[in-house]
Structure 1
């Protein structure tokens, strides 16, 4: 079974619409602060083909699943095992000095249920 069959990102279209002005510019960088299974990030990477992702999660299983899902985007993806307050260090460790957009999908993780 494909991960896309069991995980649907919440409010995906609305999130993409709100972040579009920041992510449509060339070489935009966005942080998904609650990466989970990578659904939002996958859609953003598809929609904004020059954007780069720094994905954060504290759950190593979520990072593994998201890593498999996002592998096709290659070096446009950096995944970091950290918690929310590690965002500055995660961004710096990715060699980035500013980001153009940040998404926090705050709620219950499907993996935790």
Structure 2
């Protein structure tokens, strides 16, 4: 399923879904690759579970809409957000996640300015 979504979110795709909202609420991911995807709508991972294998957002862009990982569970795998291309607004996590990410959640370094 993730492969099909990824294919429709690549820049220049004939049947682009980039402007769509995606609701993965409660979904379970045991790996996935959303590299270079172009998200222009709201993306919800509320209550999703990321377990096993690697889930990457390498060079993905989130150019509009909210992105939330509230109530998400990160266990037994790696979710790599270190090289997201851009966020229109920072993603939302539960309190404390950004200060003390669970094992396997790889976040970009904080911007100090």
TM-score (norm 2): 0.33
Select the structure that is richer in helix.
1
Structure with the greater relative contact order (CA < 8 A, sep ≥ 6): 1 or 2? 1
TM-score (norm 1): 0.33
